Structure 1
């Protein structure tokens, strides 16, 4: 593991690259004709769409064999979630992840009531567990977790030089009620975002309007918050490129959650709330936006 920056690497010699992954959680309820796709169909659709990996929980027992077969069949890279409350919570998980061939482990660190020096020590302990396991490790910027607050998360990053982040700024946009109309507030938040973006090791793609954490951005990405998010994603990618060496991978994960993340209509169909969006089509649109942000980052990095 790179002791200086702890980037995600695949052990290969390819130039630093982005990989567009799909969140497995975001596939909940996805299908056609009122029928959810099977596991095999979901893998097939994800591959057909041009994704190169999946982020999910580490599969267990009987499910693990099926997942390993499908991941190998489609040559997918694989990142996993975790929700630790103490460093020892990931000790065994990191070992199992390495044995399974996981690319990296991401944590939403519990919980939002852990603050200050207690939170710093918790995060330092998690980073140390990952170092000992020689497993690339990221902490997600997420509400309801240690990273609940933008200001305190900036403090944690400053206190822990080896802390690497999965960037999901939708949480801070909605928590701060930052809208496209609030240009002064967005500019102020952007300065703090910049501190976090310098630790980018992964990006979760979801766009907030400052009132809802996940919104439909329109069929052609015409929503007013698209460009600010594109700017932040590009900046995080640029910082990552400054540090990345051969074999480094930047996972860009489209992560549009099912209800209650997804906005629903008041009408019900068979007892189920109807989503206002085609979540799969929106995921494909976010995939294209991620590719465009990467293209901009590469072009700017060359100049």
Structure 2
């Protein structure tokens, strides 16, 4: 299989609020949990200068790779992020949520093209996330951007389009548009929406009906990536289950404390297991086809 690899990444943002016996894990405890679970990388914002040495130490100690987040509004913003990534070092790619949703049509195409041009001048790829509240918030317009920019590398997070479109299943129209985006997969973010809530608990065994659709989309994304990937490269797959605020569902217990309705860490590990299983299936399938 030309030495392709699935880079299992855990979102640092998604570690917020996680802990044991009501106590949040410390920075190093988070690193330890991520490494023990078998993840190969962390994705996070670039640490502040005063934190860089500690992050370097922990990444080395737990043998973890690193990818960065950016929220550019201009080409200069992404240039600044690329420069910061070069200072920190060891950044495999930057995941960009490009601001904002009111930048549309040719203006958006020009911005995305400029961001890609800036990335191409460095050795750090920039992947554009499909995300609400950004230039890619709308499924139909994002497809048009991909048609204008066939080299546009996407971080696929279809949960945003499922909730924005109130999809509690799927449709031929949605599948056609999703297929177009999946052709430009560079990275996958794992979260499941049911069309009403951005993040749902899929159950301990993954028996939520919407998970069937997401697994199919993740599989297509992996196959499309494998069809064009260079030998020796890795596909990032990020488990990204957000904390309370706008993502994790909560309730009030008898003492009035806000409690999450699901165990986000166990859900992340379930998504990791599912991704690894799908990856094994598709790589075997591709190998058999190429014999």
Q: TM-score range by the shorter chain?
A: over 0.9
Q: Does the 8 Å CA contact 1:204/1:253 hold for their aligned counterparts? A: yes
Deviation at 1:267, TM superposition (A): 3.8
> What does residue range 220-235 of structure 1 map to in structure 2 within 5 Å?
220-235=205-220
Map of 1:73 onto structure 2: 61
Map of 2:274 onto structure 1: 289
Q: Does the 8 Å CA contact 1:235/1:297 hold for their aligned counterparts? A: no
Q: Using CA pairs below 8 Å that are at least 6 residues apart, which structure has the higher relative contact order? A: 1
**Distance in 2, Cα, partners of 1:101 & 1:50:** 19
Residue among 116, 125, 138 paired with 1:127: 116
**Distance in 1, Cα, partners of 2:175 & 2:281:** 19
Alignment of 1:28 onto 2:16: yes
Map of 2:83 onto structure 1: 95
Deviation at 1:16, TM superposition (A): 1.4
Indicate the larger mover: 87-96 or 143-152: 87-96
Alignment of 1:259 onto 2:244: yes
> What does residue range 32-47 of structure 1 map to in structure 2 within 5 Å?
32-47=20-35
Deviation at 1:288, TM superposition (A): 0.6
SS at match of 2:208: coil
SS at match of 2:63: coil
> What does residue range 142-291 of structure 1 map to in structure 2 within 5 Å?
142-180=131-169, 183=170, 185=171, 187-260=172-245, 261-267=247-253, 272-291=257-276
SS at match of 2:91: coil
Q: Which runs of 5 or more structure 1 residues have no equivalent in the other structure?
A: 1-13
Cα RMSD, aligned residues only: 1.3
**Distance in 2, Cα, partners of 1:174 & 1:266:** 25
**Distance in 2, Cα, partners of 1:133 & 1:175:** 34
**Distance in 2, Cα, partners of 1:155 & 1:232:** 20
Map of 1:114 onto structure 2: 103
Q: Does the 8 Å CA contact 1:95/1:133 hold for their aligned counterparts? A: no
Q: Does the 8 Å CA contact 2:150/2:184 hold for their aligned counterparts? A: no
Q: Does the 8 Å CA contact 1:268/1:274 hold for their aligned counterparts? A: no
Deviation at 1:92, TM superposition (A): 2.3
Q: Does the 8 Å CA contact 2:192/2:198 hold for their aligned counterparts? A: yes
CA deviations 1:82-138 (Å, max 9, x no partner) are: 000011001122122134110000100000011000000010010011011221110
SS at match of 1:50: coil
SS at match of 2:238: strand
Q: Taking structure 2 as the reference length, what is the TM-score of the superposition?
A: 0.95
Count, aligned residues: 285
CA deviations 1:193-219 (Å, max 9, x no partner) are: 111111111000000111101000000
CA deviations 1:44-63 (Å, max 9, x no partner) are: 01000010100000001121
Deviation at 1:272, TM superposition (A): 4.7
Map of 1:15 onto structure 2: 3
**Distance in 1, Cα, partners of 2:163 & 2:254:** 26
Q: Taking structure 1 as the reference length, what is the TM-score of the superposition?
A: 0.91
Deviation at 1:268, TM superposition (A): 7.4
